Amino acid sequence: MDKQQAQEKIQALREVLNQYSYEYHVLDKPTVPDAEYDEKLQELRQLEEAFPELITADSPTQRVGDKPLEGFTKVEHSIPMLSLGNAFNEQDLHDFARRASQGTDTPPTYVCELKIDGLAVSLRYENGQFVQGSTRGDGTVGEDITSNLRTINSIPLSIKDKHTIEVRGEAYMPHQSFLKLNKAREENGEELFANPRNAAAGSLRQLDPKIAASRSLDVFLYGVGEWEGKQLASHSERLTYFKELGFKTNPEWKKCSTIEEVIDYINYWTEARPNLNYEIDGIVVKVDNIAQQEELGYTAKSPRWAIAYKFPAEEVMTTLRDIELSVGRTGVITPTAILDPVKVAGTTVQRASLHNEDLIREKDIRIGDPVVVKKAGDIIPEVVRVITEKRTGNEQPFSMPTECPACDSELVRLDGEVALRCMNPNCPAQLQEGLIHFVSRNAMNIDGLGEKVISQLFREKLIQTIADVYRLEREALLSLERMGEKSVDNLLRAIEASKENSLEKLLFGLGIRFIGAKAAKTLAMEFETMDQLANATYDALIAVDEIGEKMADAVVQYFAEEEVVTLLSELRELGVNMTYKGPKKAAIAEDAVFSGKTIVLTGKLEQFTRQEAKERIEALGGKVTGSVSKSTDIVVAGEAAGSKYEKAQQLNIPIWDEAQLKNILEAEEEKQ
């Protein structure tokens, strides 16, 4: 057989094997015996061994890599993978429907989908080839797990759409795969996985793709990220198109005209979910029309056009043996129930938050009580109620202390609050929790300063305040247990690098009450320097969009404290940046070129990343969306612009090239 004949035979075998795989793994309707598939796969392997120059990445023989990875690289999502807001009852669903109706010109219809309990993943295709797969991570940055995702047979390695597209979904482990895996682990004396979700996540984070391949994982696709492909008017059309491309979608989705139909769908699957061969933990409800989705937009954390209804949590009985107290970074005293170990929703629970003194009193919780426990949102353990009829009479009532368990200072209850609070700014527990927050990823992001290291440094009195982080010395660190030269050098480099962070990172790290990461970014962008923010009046703060009364009051009070003035002075002397480095806010939003305009980015940008372009446009008053519609004002087209470019032409929407965008951005930013 010559090379031309081999190439033709290889192509024919690949096509038939891909079709067999699609029928088996996606349609669940195999048309040939396994032996016939295996025979053709072996024939393909032999031909590729004879003609290795004909091997391509999308060949069925290339699903499992030969060598384990050394580690996972980071992947920045060009469009964030946001989480969904939650609904727990019918009223929450009606509220969601009311907000959606108020935010659109016509009453929306909905698509309901089963909420698969697995690991959120993103699959990127370029020129029809699967080129990258990643985890959700923190929504902005995930991990590259391409090699492991390639082992999932229901993920096509090539598709007929040649545009750059990114599809998103949930990788999961079917029940039979989970039972088989745990049986094997039990026989080998290995620790069992608590539930299929943990097993799926653990499998996809294996450095050896052969391990992931052996776990029989599957996937359902349900959404998009970056999308240059066929423009569709609705989510339901998108799901249908996914199927045409060979992607596996969950067959149980349904279009609903009203929220009452949505509730009927939820009620059905609340009862029917035990019949499925995979775990679901709720129902996802989405506005079907994509133009309406764009009209409704997003909050900082989630889309306004979708919500996740969570099934009622599993409830189990156990005994409450003790109540422990912890002190948070803001001084709040939180009681925690210590329980007899009990399995809830797939994991063993021994602790559950009791929140505050009022809740303990309201539920009449006593030490020794038989109690019912559940996981709120299937995540956070909580005590639901006491089983009073099972009391023996030996249970002991619990009273909150009058003094802080960490520093013995008097506890107070502020007006309008239910929590007891330690007001001592030098309380060691508060200081330690504050330090853990300061170095965390969303704050100063000092890699190597985790909770255990902070605790160790605190015990050894090497750090007592935030400023002490920047006074750590190499010799002192080397004297600590489990701190070698390499780890110490890496830690000191990370500390030094954190000095260059933009102002919003420092603001969030300081732990100002009510000021989260988003509010910190808003304040940093508005005031630009720490000094200007510290001197801002209540009226100036309240005038900033998204800064409420409590936030403004908290900021004023924070910067009025002498300890804060001293701390900021020390940080400045230690070289910590006090200036906002991000894209600046337009001085006069009405005069900005993008004020009130909707912009779509398409194709490959060369001058800056997609995220950078988005941030700079938004800083000048623009709104960046993912699809072209009549409401789009400008389309910016990079290289290999696809259907969005064509649709913009059809709708006579102005089309800019990247150079034009760059010139406009620079000109507008110079005006500030």
Residues catalogued as catalytic: 115
Q: E strand or H helix at 465, and its extent?
A: none
Q: How many CA atoms lie within 13 A of 168 on its CB side?
A: 19
Sequence-separated (6 or more) residues with CB below 8 Å from residue 471: 463, 574
Say if strands 254-256 and 421-422 run parallel, antiparallel, or are unpaired.
unpaired
Question: Distance (Å, rounded) from C-alpha 361 to C-alpha 365?
Answer: 7
**Cα–Cα nearest to 322, from 350, 348, 288:** 350
| Phi and psi angles of residue 636, each rounded to the nearest 5 degrees, phi first | -100, 115
Burial code of 25-52, b = ≥16 C-beta within 10 A, e = fewer?
bbeeeeeeeeeebeebbeebeebbeebe
Token pair belonging to 42 = 């072996």
Do 178 and 192 touch, CB atoms closer than 8 A?
no
Token pair belonging to 570 = 């020390």
Question: Distance (Å, rounded) from C-alpha 412 to C-alpha 435?
Answer: 23
HEC letters along 193-238? CCCHHHHHHHHHCCCCHHHHHHCCCEEEEEEEEEECCCCCCEHHHH
Sequence-separated (6 or more) residues with CB below 8 Å from residue 639: 603, 604, 606
Helix axes 517-527, 503-510, angle to 10 degrees: 130
**Cα–Cα nearest to 411, from 419, 421, 397, 424:** 421
Question: Distance (Å, rounded) from C-alpha 416 to C-alpha 245?
Answer: 56
387 backbone φψ class: left, alpha, beta (φ>0; ψ -120 to 50): beta
Q: How many CA atoms lie within 13 A of 362 on its CB side?
A: 9
Q: E strand or H helix at 124, and its extent?
A: strand 119-126
Q: E strand or H helix at 141, and its extent?
A: strand 141-143
**Cα–Cα nearest to 128, from 245, 11, 248:** 245
Helix axes 428-438, 451-459, angle to 10 degrees: 140
HEC letters along 453-488? HHHHHHHCCCCCCHHHHHHCCHHHHHCCCCCCHHHH
Sign of CA dihedral 207, 488, 447, 451: positive
